[in-house]
Amino acid sequence: MDSRLAVELAGIRLRNPVMVCSGTFGSGSEYGDFLDLESLGALVTKSVTLNPRAGNPPPRIWETPSGMLNSIGLENKGVERFIQEDLAHLSALELPVIASVAGSSVEEYVEVAGRLSDSGRASALELNVSCPNVKRGGVEFGLESQAACELVTRVKERCGVPIFVKLSPLVPDMGAMARLLQEAGADGLSLINTVPGMAVDIEGKKPRLGAVTGGLSGPAIHPIAVRSVWTARQQVGIPIIGMGGITDWRSALELIVAGANAVAVGTANFTDPQATIKIIGGMESFVQARGLDRIGELVGSLRV
Ligand code: SIN
CB 128 within 8 A of CB 193: yes
Expressed in angstroms and rounded, the spacing between residue 13 Cα and the centre of ligand 1 is 27
In a domain, 99, yes or no: yes
Separation CA 60–CA 42 (nearest Å)? 27
Biggest distance spanned by C-alpha atoms of the chain: 57
In a domain, 224, yes or no: yes
Ligand 1 atom 5: residue of nearest CA: 131
In a domain, 210, yes or no: no
In a domain, 65, yes or no: no
Expressed in angstroms and rounded, the spacing between residue 87 Cα and the centre of ligand 1 is 20
Q: Is the CB of 72 under 6 A from ligand 1?
A: yes
Q: Which pLDDT score is estimated for 27? A: 78
Separation CA 267–CA 294 (nearest Å)? 27
In a domain, 251, yes or no: yes
Q: Is the CB of 131 under 6 A from ligand 1?
A: yes
* Residues annotated catalytic, as ranges: 131
In a domain, 60, yes or no: no
In a domain, 62, yes or no: no
pLDDT digits (tens, 9 = 90+) for 226-235: 999 999 999 9
Ligand 1 atom 6: residue of nearest CA: 131
Expressed in angstroms and rounded, the spacing between residue 215 Cα and the centre of ligand 1 is 7
- The ranges of the chain with pLDDT < 50 are none
Q: Which pLDDT score is estimated for 126? A: 98
Q: Which pLDDT score is estimated for 191? A: 98
Q: Which pLDDT score is estimated for 2? A: 82
Q: Which pLDDT score is estimated for 177? A: 98
3-state SS, the chain, equals: CCHHHCEEECCEEECCCEEECCCCCCCCHHHCCCCCHHHCCEEECCCECCCCECCCCCCCEEEECCEEEECCCCCECCHHHHHHHHHHHHCCCCCCEEEEECCCCHHHHHHHHHHHHHHCCCCEEEEECCCCCCCCCHHHHCCCHHHHHHHHHHHHHHCCCCEEEEECCCCCCHHHHHHHHHHHCCCEEEECCCEEECCEECCCCEECCCCCCEEEECHHHHHHHHHHHHHHHCCCCCCEEEECCCCCHHHHHHHHHHCCCEEEECCHHHHCCCHHHHHHHHHHHHHHHHCCCCHHHHCCCCCC
Separation CA 77–CA 145 (nearest Å)? 30
Which of 70, 109, 135, 212 for mutating ligand 1's site (highest number of atoms within 8 Å of CB)? 70
Expressed in angstroms and rounded, the spacing between residue 134 Cα and the centre of ligand 1 is 8
pLDDT digits (tens, 9 = 90+) for 31-43: 888 999 999 999 9
Q: Is the CB of 104 under 6 A from ligand 1?
A: no
CATH code for the domain in which residue 271 is found: 3.20.20.70
Which atom from ligand 1 is nearest to the alpha carbon of 133? 3
Q: Which pLDDT score is estimated for 28? A: 83
CB 68 within 8 A of CB 217: yes
Mean pLDDT of all residues belonging to the chain: 96
Which atom from ligand 1 is nearest to the alpha carbon of 56? 3
In a domain, 202, yes or no: no
Q: Which pLDDT score is estimated for 32? A: 84
Structural domain including 241 reads 3-55+74-196+218-298
Q: Which pLDDT score is estimated for 281? A: 98
Q: For the chain, what is the domain count?
A: 1
Q: Which pLDDT score is estimated for 29? A: 80
Which of 22, 49, 74, 164 for mutating ligand 1's site (highest number of atoms within 8 Å of CB)? 74
